[in-house]
Amino acid sequence: MNGMWKFTVRRILIMIPQVVLLSILVFIMAKMMPGDALSGLMDPNLDPATLEELREKLGLNDPWYTQYIHWIGDLFHGDMGESFRYKMPVSELIGQRMVNTFWLSLVTLILIYLISVPLGIISGRYNDSLLDQAITGYTYIGFATPLFIFALVLLWIFGFQFGWFPTGGSVTPGSTPGTLDYISSKLYHLLLPAISMALIGTVGTVQYLRNEIIDTKQKDFILTARAKGASESRVYNRHVLRNSLLPIAAFFGYEITGLISGTVFVESIYTYPGMGQLFLESITTRDYSVATALTLLFGIAAILGTLISDIILSLVDPRIRIK
Amino acid sequence: MKQELLQLKNLRTSFRIGDEYYAAVDDVSLTVNKNEVLAVVGESGCGKSALAFSVMGLHTRAKIEGNILFKDHDLAHASPGTMNRLRGKDLGMIFQDPLTALNPLMIIGDQIGEVIYLHNKTLSQANRKKKVLELLDKVGIPRPEHTYNQYPHELSGGMRQRVVIAIAIANDPELLIADEPTTALDATIQSQILDLITRLKKDMHAGIILITHDLGVVAEMADRVAVMYAGEIVEIADVMTLFGRPLHPYTRSLLNSVPNAEKDQDELHVIQGIVPSLKNLPREGCRFKDRIPWLDESAHEENPQMHEVTPGHFVRCTCYKHFHFPKERKEEKHHGIS
Ligand SMILES: Nc1ncnc2c1ncn2[C@@H]1O[C@H](COP(=O)(O)OP(=O)(O)O)[C@@H](O)[C@H]1O
Ligand SMILES: [Mg+2]
């Protein structure tokens, strides 16, 4: 366990330069966008001299590194600027959306694993069977189908045609937060977006797990297990699966990245008030401070995803702890 | 005196390549007696592992024909349940590569414990652990308590092979198959592992099939030797006879490749070439024909059979009679062979 802790601490330390680099990149990107924090915020009729004075006062004329330090300092205080469109602090705006996106992502992830683990196991264990071919066929279709089209089709069929699911929003208006009704309404609203993301997002994991299982079952230690007299099901449950699920843990970071791009499309299509929808909206309306903050947050989420993968991996794979 | 333990009758193990089956073990018949070490020798690709895996029932996609008679069972046609009851209990196997033979995510103690548990589910956990520790000690692991909780990657190749051996002998098998148990190891470790197997052999009452291409090992450990070429047994005899009077040209070429062989170098002994791939194995006539092209076609039998030259000494095909070995010429004349 000691090795485990050492590994975790070291792994977290590695994250620091990653986040710093990310913040610099995001900052440079923000600076390269046309206009600055003021041009959108202010009354266009203000005279240029006053504007220049304001710029000076806000430090917008300082060298970039000074501005960067300021920006970071503000971030640490939770100040991510002001949304010119919503006329409210970005942190507050994102805060509301973040909760929605979090639940949507969590449910999607759960669905992804609920779908991909059994399918991958069946496909890998009985490879080249009819069932495997059907599953592989599904993954090919999934790879070829763009998420936003698939999400639109599901919305049209199950939302508009059948009316089984709500077609927008994250909760029925008027329900009181905290009640069971409220929670089930929230879940109901995110179910269809989550299903559409999961059905497409799962194919990579299914394929990955299938290949892992086919690979693992040909390993020598599987022969050792059989030579011990272990039954077929025991061979799979004790020896093949554990070794094949390992890379799935490593895949978790990738899954998070996929979710981020997924939410951008899906939330926009389902007008689900989350970070993804806000991101697309902030770009089309040139709400730069919002776009910048979201980019930074998405980047951090991706970095955290790989961190979590690595820690899970080190928990299950003793070989990693040694290095 | 001799009690038969395992009897292979016309065993044929075929793999599917494309639409056809190709036999990697072709019509092999042999016997292993109790308390006997039968060595199986032959170049890489001769079908030695395919033979061993057939006995253990470890082939997943092979066609197995013939009979593998072991204690009232025919392993060639046994149900998976029967095989699972026999494997790990009556049948033990030591694999070639200790680096890959152990589950990388399981501690050593659990890997050995599993084979004990599978065949004795009522044994308490504490007793099982005790048994595992005894086994670790028996196979020469210096600190059993410590190694019990280690993972395979924390052990050297030699130590891992000791663990593999511990798994194979955990339930005192009646038949132990060792498939090139030292090939993957360094020379110094090799002899340690062989010493271990020799030592274990003494207090086990198992028949052992020792697959190897190290003839030094054969000379030291084996009671009888079967020489395999291209899926067939080409010669089988007790160890003294085989080393003293090898007949088949393939056996002779193998023996001549032993370093420090006392025999004079005879140019006929240097046989070139390799074992053909499974798909390209000659299936008709003498399979060794192509590697001794200087012999006339008529030297070979059309349909090579095993001939019992002296009791217990069998050799395939008649081509062996056509080799001139200076030292043995007299003897061959004595037998009235050209
Ligand atoms: N699972 C398999 N599928 C197809 N061919 C195989 C398989 N296993 C072994 N072979 C072939 O059978 C022949 C004998 O192999 P093997 O028994 O491993 O030889 P050895 O152990 O004597 O080196 C080789 O030509 C090998 O390529
Ligand atoms: Mg082999």
Sheet containing B73-74: which strands, arranged edge to edge?
B20-33, B4-17, B62-70, B73-74
Reference B161, options B187, B190, B204, B138; nearest CA is B190
Minimum-distance CB partner of A239 among B103, B153, B164? B103
Question: What does pLDDT average to over chain A?
Answer: 86
Query: Closest residue (by CA) to atom 2 of ligand 1?
Result: B15
- DSSP state, residue A239: I
> Residue A177 above 90 pLDDT?
no
The whole-number pLDDT of residue B336 equals 38
The whole-number pLDDT of residue A41 equals 55
Residue A61 makes CB contacts below 8 A (sequence gap 6+) with A55
Determine, yes or no, domain membership for A195.
yes
Token representation of residue B24: 């990697």
Q: How far is Cα A143 from Cα A152, in angstroms, rounded to an integer?
A: 17
Query: Distance between alpha carbon B110 and the CA centroid of its chain, in Å?
Result: 28
More confident position, B279 or A134: A134
The whole-number pLDDT of residue A105 equals 92
Q: What is the band of A44 on the pLDDT scale with cuts at 50, 70, 90?
A: low
Query: Distance between alpha carbon B236 and the CA centroid of its chain, in Å?
Result: 13
Q: How far is Cα B111 from Cα B123, in angstroms, rounded to an integer?
A: 16
As beta bridge partners, residue B308 has B314
| Cβ contacts of B114 on chain A, cutoff 8 Å | 225, 228, 230, 238
What's the CATH code of the domain at A226?
1.10.3720.10
Nearest chain B residue (CA) to A242: B105
Q: Around Cβ B74, how many Cβ atoms within 10 Å?
A: 14
**B232-238 and B224-229 as β-strands: parallel, antiparallel, unpaired?**
antiparallel
Rounded to two decimals, what is the model's pTM?
A: 0.82
> How many domains would you assign to chain A?
1
The whole-number pLDDT of residue B334 equals 42
Best residue of B49, B56, B73, B84 to probe chain A, by most A CBs closer than 10 Å: B84
**B207-212 and B175-179 as β-strands: parallel, antiparallel, unpaired?**
parallel
**CA dihedral for B35, B36, B37, B42, sign (positive or negative):** negative
| Cβ contacts of A317 on chain B, cutoff 8 Å | 104-105
The whole-number pLDDT of residue A38 equals 53
Q: How far is the CA of B211 from the centre of ligand 1 (A)?
A: 14
More confident position, A176 or A21: A21
Q: What is the mean pLDDT of each run of 10 residues along chain B (338 residues)?
A: 90 94 94 95 93 95 95 94 96 94 95 97 96 95 96 94 96 95 89 90 90 89 94 95 91 72 49 81 84 79 89 90 56 40
The pLDDT of A311-318, averaged and rounded, is 80
pLDDT tens digits along A228-283: 999 999 999 999 998 888 878 777 887 888 888 899 999 999 989 999 999 998 88
ipTM over 0.85: yes
The whole-number pLDDT of residue A84 equals 79
Minimum-distance CB partner of A228 among B100, B104, B115? B115
Is the separation of the CB atoms in A147 and A200 below 8 Å?
yes
* CATH 3.40.50.300 residue spans of chain B: 4-222
Best residue of A1, A215, A224, A237 to probe chain B, by most B CBs closer than 10 Å: A224
Q: Around Cβ A297, how many Cβ atoms within 10 Å?
A: 18
pLDDT tens digits along A189-222: 898 999 999 999 899 899 999 999 999 999 999 9
Determine, yes or no, domain membership for A113.
yes
Instruction: List residues near ligand 1 (CB under 6 A).
Output: B 15, 24, 42, 44-50, 277-278
**Enclosing domain of residue A302:** 93-317
Query: Closest residue (by CA) to atom 5 of ligand 1?
Result: B15
Token representation of residue B147: 């190694």
Strand ranges (E), A146-257: none
Element (H, E) at B73: strand B73-74
Tell me whether residues A229 and B168 touch, CB distance under 8 A.
no
Residue A246 makes CB contacts below 8 A (sequence gap 6+) with A212, A313, A316, A317, B105
Q: What is the band of A323 on the pLDDT scale with cuts at 50, 70, 90?
A: very low
Task: Give Dmax over CA atoms of chain B in angstroms.
Answer: 69
- The number of the ligand nearest the C-alpha atom of B40 reads 1
Tell me whether residues A229 and B119 touch, CB distance under 8 A.
yes
Q: Quote the percentage of chain A above a pLDDT of 70.
A: 93
Pick the CATH number of B4-222 from 3.30.70.141, 3.20.20.140, 3.40.50.300, 3.40.50.970: 3.40.50.300
The whole-number pLDDT of residue A161 equals 87
> Residue A4 above 90 pLDDT?
no
Determine, yes or no, domain membership for A23.
no
As beta bridge partners, residue B30 has B8
The whole-number pLDDT of residue A1 equals 57
Reference B225, options B42, B5, B11, B8; nearest CA is B42
Token representation of residue B235: 């010669």
Reference B307, options B315, B319, B298, B297; nearest CA is B315
